[in-house]
Structure 1
Amino acid sequence: MSRDWDRRHCASKGHITYAPDEPGLRERLRASTAVGPVWRCLRCGDFVLGEPHGSGPAGNAPLVPRGRALRDLFILRFLAVERVLRGVLVILAAWAVWKFSNSQDAVRKLFEDDLTVFRPVANHFGYDLDHSPVVDTIQKTFDYKKSTLHVVAGGLLGYALIETVEGVGLWFGKRWAEYLAVVATAAFLPIEVYELTEKMSAFKVGTLALNVVAVLYILIGKRLFGIRGGHAAFEAARRGESLLEVEAAAGVADGDDTPAAGAAGGQGGTKAPLPVRRRSSADTV
């Protein structure tokens, strides 16, 4: 199943091949055909005709998300899009509050004039505009001080900034963004729960459920705050799924004692991890 996921991504984004300098590992990633050499894609594992996209020491190979790491990246990017869209909507709300604060009296007069026009129609259908909760809420906002509305607009703008920065960081797979997402989202969960106690709606329930799942997924799946071994265990698991590590381990199992296989101390059955650089899983997508 993960192989199909990798192939679908390669079909849309293209394959990524690499020729390591280590002879043993290089031969495991290369094959000869009647039409020319082929190299294994570092993401899906299929052989691709043509010259490799890069070459050099195995430790300098691009870190290509594959398998679970690729699925995790897609989920994070879904959350990133949701965060950025939410940030844009909150920015629009902040702009509306600020605009309203600067023309409060004009809006009040316009609203009261329209209310007078629609009152006979509302009375005809048995709707009492003078005791409507919606109308009362709107009329109360006209009594807010201009400074109070400016504070509200500033607060909304700050919240939108957090959501936007969080979304951009999640899109690029930055670990600091994962911490920010967990802390910021968890901080607003009590408010969302309180809103549900005031008035229940499908939208509010869905938003709360999405945020709870997002917090648990990032917290546990990304091993934040030392959970399940923390960052070191997360990086070790991610590197262990890379094609270069898999092929190096296979070379050791076959008795290949080349430096690519990383046999420690000349022991053919012991694998030393490749010196893969610590980079974000989104460095190469």
Structure 2
Amino acid sequence: MKLDWDRRTCARRGHTTYAPDEPELRERLHARTALGDVWRCLRCGDFALGEPRGSGPAEDAPAVPRGKALRDLFILRLLAVERGLRGVFIVLAAWAVWQFSNSQDAVHRLFDENLTVFRPVANHFHYDVDHSPIVDTIRRTFDYRHSTLLIVAGALLVYALVEIVEAVGLWLARRWAEYLTVVATAAFLPLEIYELTEKVSWLKAATLVVNILAVLWIALSKRLFGLRGGRAAFEAERHSASLLEVEKAADAWIPTADPAAAAAAATAAAD
């Protein structure tokens, strides 16, 4: 079953109705029924009881996303949520590095004390703690200089800021955010590929696939970097849709001379 993005959105946000100043268009979008005046929704095309949400010249009608545009907005907002969550986790990682840099010696002593306690248990299960890759990695962090750890924390904060800015821009469907997302994501793809060559994991592979698909989808669907006609084609498509929004909604409806049918349609829309 095909998802009706228009009616799904109207069910959540309500209908978007508009009364154009042009008499012919106004008559085609408006009807009177036994229940009251009804106006045709610019998004889903259904009738809605009550006064229109806006009025004015047809060219000033709101540019209401419909169909494919709504689906694209939904995908962008999914990416925005993912970027936002990633940004929050990176901020937490930066805070942890900064805290560690300020108490490095104390953490080192605590680690050695707990490792001594844990060693007999590990030996019982034939696990060599002293030559464990995890333990070796942790010990190497204790050799890092305080200034180095501060640089790492600062770099993480910058990375987190980029992710959060991406998230806000994508949620608002800003074109600059789409460019930023493509450039920033593509810049880290070589590093992700290198990490896979070092050690393969399902998480790393899935992250790489998602990032590649995100780059391709945003670049192609939003016509970035001159693809599919570039910005001119994108703006022309958006501008055309905005100017024809009222006309399309009007053309989709043929007025009926049967008041009972109009009242039934209005009742169904109200339900």
Give the TM-score normalised by structure 2.
0.89
Amino acid at match of 1:144: Y
Per the alignment, residue 16 of structure 1 pairs with 16
Q: Which residue of 1 aligns with 2:231?
A: 231
1:46-195 equivalence runs, <5 A: 46-195=46-195
CA drift of 1:29 comes to 1.3
SS in 1 for 2:37: strand
Structure 1 counterpart of 2:163, which letter? E
Secondary structure at the residue paired with 1:55? strand
CA distance in 1, matches of 2:236, 2:67: 15
Compute the RMSD of aligned alpha carbons. 1.7
Question: Per-residue deviation at 1:27?
Answer: 1.7
- Opposite residue 55 of structure 1, the aligned amino acid is S
Q: Hey, what's the Cα distance between the residues in 2 that align with 1:249 and 1:42?
A: 11
- Counterpart Cα distance in 1 of 2:104 and 2:152: 15
Partner amino acid for 1:140?
R
TM-score (norm 1): 0.84
What is the CA–CA distance in structure 1 between the aligned matches of 2:139 and 2:161, rounded to whole Å? 29
Q: Deviations over 1:119-175 (max 9, x none)?
A: 000000010000000000000000000000000000000000000000000000000
Query: Is 1:246 the equivalent of 2:248?
Result: yes
Q: CA shift at 1:232, angstroms?
A: 2.5
**How far off is 1:247 after superposition?**
4.2
Residue matched to 2:214: 214
Q: Could you say what secondary structure the match of 1:188 adopts?
A: helix
Compared with structure 1, are the counterparts of its residues 240 and 248 closer, same or farther at alpha carbon in structure 2 (3 Å cutoff)? farther
The alpha-carbon deviation at position 222 of structure 1 amounts to 0.3
Residue 112 of structure 1 aligns to a residue in which SS? helix
In the TM superposition, residue 238 of structure 1 has moved relative to its aligned partner by: 3.6
- Normalized per residue, the structure richer in helix is 2
Aligned residues: 251
What percentage of aligned pairs have identical amino acids? Answer: 71
8 A contact 2:25–2:247 mirrored in 1:
no
Q: Which runs of 5+ in 1 are unaligned?
A: 252-285
Report the Cα offset of residue 23 of structure 1.
1.5
Q: Give the 3 Å change call, closer, same or farther, for CA 248–228 of structure 1 in structure 2.
A: farther
